[in-house]
Amino acid sequence: MLTPDQLADLPVFPLPNMVLFPGSVLPLHIFEPRYREMVAWCLEKESPMAVAMIQPGSEGAQLADPALVPTCGVGRIERHLQLPDGRFNLVLRAESRVLLEEELPLREGFRRFRVSEQPDLPADPQTLARHLSTIKALSDGLATTVPSLGYLLNELLDKGMPPGQIADQIIDFTTLEPPDKQQVLEQRDAIKRLAAVEELLAGLLATSVHDHSHDGHQH
């Protein structure tokens, strides 16, 4: 949860092709002077920061303030190391999703926004449980054809995270393109996100079973 002050004034770090899901851990190397200033400000104020994807098409424009996709992840600096020349290496742990409501007048060198939190919508626990059961079955199936993937999925399912966050984490480590991941980030209905995960895993399982069977016929 963000405080009222943080909702009213949140630093934002723009990045191309980056979708930050709640629960994810993002290592960052900060070298631009204005973003070094932003990290120092966050550390001093104990403030979280948002990571917003630059609008596709704005990345190569060399704009000081490229257009941003409004829904983005927000996290806190979990670890940091400031290098002798002022650069930072840090680890950001994402906690929630927010909507960029209004950009504030530039006071420091980095961008800040008024934001609103975008928590998951209320969902029926039994429906969530059914989706998780299906995902578990798909994960067990993948464990026989793609053991490394099955292991990762089952390890994730055993962590006891909220259902919506489980969906986010599975989507996060897939090879979906950033715009497709962004669509998932913007979906506040955890049931719909879990359904998207089911569809994705079912497709992976069907492909892996076909490939596994095909390889078996060749030997």
Question: What is residue 216's predicted lDDT score, i.e. its pLDDT?
Answer: 53
DSSP per residue, 162-213: -HHHHHHHHHHTS---HHHHHHHHH---HHHHHHHHHHHHHHHHHHHHHHHH
Q: Number of C-alpha atoms within 13 angstroms, CB side, residue 204?
A: 25
Question: What is residue 219's predicted lDDT score, i.e. its pLDDT?
Answer: 42
Domains located in the chain, CATH noted: 4-117 (2.30.130.40), 125-218 (1.20.58.1480)
Contacts (Cβ under 8 Å, ≥6 apart) of 133: none
- Residue 145's alpha-carbon distances to 55, 75, 208, in angstroms, are 38, 35, 6
Give the containing element (helix H, strand E) for 78: strand 71-82
DSSP per residue, 98-137: EEEEEEPPP-SSS-EEEEEE-PPPP--HHHHHHHHHHHHH
Strands 71-82 and 112-117: unpaired
For residue 11, list its beta bridge partners.
Answer: 112
Question: What is residue 56's predicted lDDT score, i.e. its pLDDT?
Answer: 85
pLDDT digits (tens, 9 = 90+) for 66-123: 899 999 999 999 999 999 999 999 999 999 999 999 999 988 889 999 999 999 999 9
C-alpha to C-alpha distance for 80 and 34, rounded to whole angstroms: 17
Question: What is residue 58's predicted lDDT score, i.e. its pLDDT?
Answer: 74
Q: Which residue type, as a one-letter code, is found at position 165?
A: Q
Average pLDDT, the chain: 91
Residues of the chain with pLDDT under 70: 59-64, 210-219
Question: What is residue 35's predicted lDDT score, i.e. its pLDDT?
Answer: 95
Question: What is residue 218's predicted lDDT score, i.e. its pLDDT?
Answer: 47
DSSP state, residue 146: S
Question: What is residue 65's predicted lDDT score, i.e. its pLDDT?
Answer: 83
Query: In this structure, are residues 113 and 10 in contact, taking their beta carbons and an 8 Å threshold?
Result: yes
